Structure 1
């Protein structure tokens, strides 16, 4: 990506009513951090256009690999926040415990606590689509989260063939998150 491409992406998104991008980050290599820089620079040129990180936990193996990005960008004028807290998501990560007794404890100790020690209190809404037993009981099993994104609810699995997308998992997540006063974010095409 080049800086001019980021500007075009933001312009075109705004022209059709899109006001934010989820940046699916799978690497902190230079090509990735350059693209992040270009997108934040472009977003800053357009009032109210926001960006937030969604860390791809198929590629990352530990939060320490990406915490620096949150530290660097969470105060940027174009970083999306919810009630004053920088919004952060993931793609997968529900089965990663980072050496702790449970995935929720792992995310607490290796994601939440290091950021909180630096005064950063994120609003954490992961797409833990790889969780066992989801969506029922999901929020109870992950007290570390502020909500859940149903990434896999936006389209059928390839093995399903051509079928209409059901809203059953969205409804189950919605019920579960509301039971625990958490946020539900629907996946989108």
Structure 2
């Protein structure tokens, strides 16, 4: 990313009420110093935005202790560095086998340590409570053909015994990168809406969105920068923007901050319940072509193999923001519109099955027989690129 791209992305993140970025860095990356300088410089130019370091122990092996200390101490004095309880907050991706390293790291940096150790899990984390200050779970997606529940989050919170829990939120997951032996999906579907409802209910100390720009796993909510798309991922990322998911974030994030209430009169954000439509769906029905080897669930971690079309449903997913009761009409191709009711001010969500229909998707917010907002999405088609179903989704919104 160029300095200008860093700056524009930070401005976009601030606009949707995100406080900061967690910067995933790997030990073999020779350009890490340059990238971090660009990130911190951009955050400081924009202002009102923070950054934290997340050391990736799953890409290139474990970090040497002295390099971790170096990076924490190098950036802790930058004005964009995020501090919690007077200490620079630091995270990881995996690395529980190096847990003992953090005794020396914390002594040398006084960091507030909230690792993500999915290779450990909530039951085993209790044996590390003398080292960690909290924990970040990577368990953001349901397994199989079901909705995500909060059982894992509650287990983490109980195991942490009062230490802060960083809850993961993600809208989607599909990856097909044979060079890294990755080709599976987990259910996204309604996840972006219902997961935020769970956040509001559980009120964790922190939330981390997975992710801003991981194009290879299809859970990006930021702009697509072509240079950052891994080889092979362009076939399912390009032409499939996810930017419109950010339209909903100010409402979800403010509801979390205010214990479930979004106050449209807050002077800080000037939120209004202006009529808005956000929609997402796969443009290929699951039966339209080859699954291209994609499995439902990750067999590499022992999960049961399911057909991807069972896990990822053939549906149009629609969220709307309205200020007063409204009627929502959702039409696929020339089919009969589905009509649902939004009962009052706030964010409302539904899904509508393809039911064999193909063609352009049209959605309207109607109130007192007048169209208040409308959106038109790309056609659902059985014509698949290279004969393969694209398991990524298209996300759009009304003007």
Which of 122, 127, 138 is the matching residue for 1:135? 122
Q: Hey, what's the Cα distance between the residues in 1 that align with 2:28 and 2:15?
A: 30
Taking structure 1 as the reference length, the TM-score comes to 0.81
CA RMSD of aligned residues (A): 1.8
Change (3 A) 1:187 1:63: farther
Structure 1, residues 130-155: CA drift from partner, whole Å, max 9, x if none?
Answer: 11xx312513434111001112x211
Q: Residue 93 of structure 1 aligns with which residue?
A: 95
Structure 1 segment 7-86 matched on structure 2, within 5 A? 7-27=7-27, 29-59=29-59, 60-61=61-62, 62-86=64-88
Unaligned runs of at least 5 residues, structure 1: 97-102
3-state DSSP of counterpart to 1:40: helix
- Is the 1:139–1:145 Cα contact (8 Å) retained in structure 2? no
Q: Hey, what's the Cα distance between the residues in 2 that align with 1:70 and 1:106?
A: 14
Q: Which moved more, 1:28-37 or 1:4-13?
A: 28-37
3-state DSSP of counterpart to 2:135: strand
- Is the 1:25–1:56 Cα contact (8 Å) retained in structure 2? yes
Q: Which moved more, 1:27-36 or 1:66-75?
A: 27-36
Name the one with the larger strand percent. 2
Unaligned runs of at least 5 residues, structure 2: 171-399
Deviation at 1:83, TM superposition (A): 1.3
Structure 1, residues 45-67: CA drift from partner, whole Å, max 9, x if none?
Answer: 22320000111011342332332
Change (3 A) 1:66 1:141: closer
Structure 1, residues 111-137: CA drift from partner, whole Å, max 9, x if none?
Answer: 223x2xxxx310000001111xx3125
Larger Rg belongs to:
2
Structure 1, residues 18-47: CA drift from partner, whole Å, max 9, x if none?
Answer: 110000111463422212111111100223
Q: Hey, what's the Cα distance between the residues in 2 that align with 1:95 and 1:66?
A: 16
Q: Residue 135 of structure 2 aligns with which residue?
A: 148
Which of 106, 110, 114 is the matching residue for 1:112? 106
Higher relative contact order (CA 8 A, sep 6+): 1
Change (3 A) 1:169 1:80: same
Q: Hey, what's the Cα distance between the residues in 2 that align with 1:92 and 1:29?
A: 17
Q: Hey, what's the Cα distance between the residues in 1 that align with 2:74 and 2:9?
A: 22
Name the one with the larger helix percent. 1
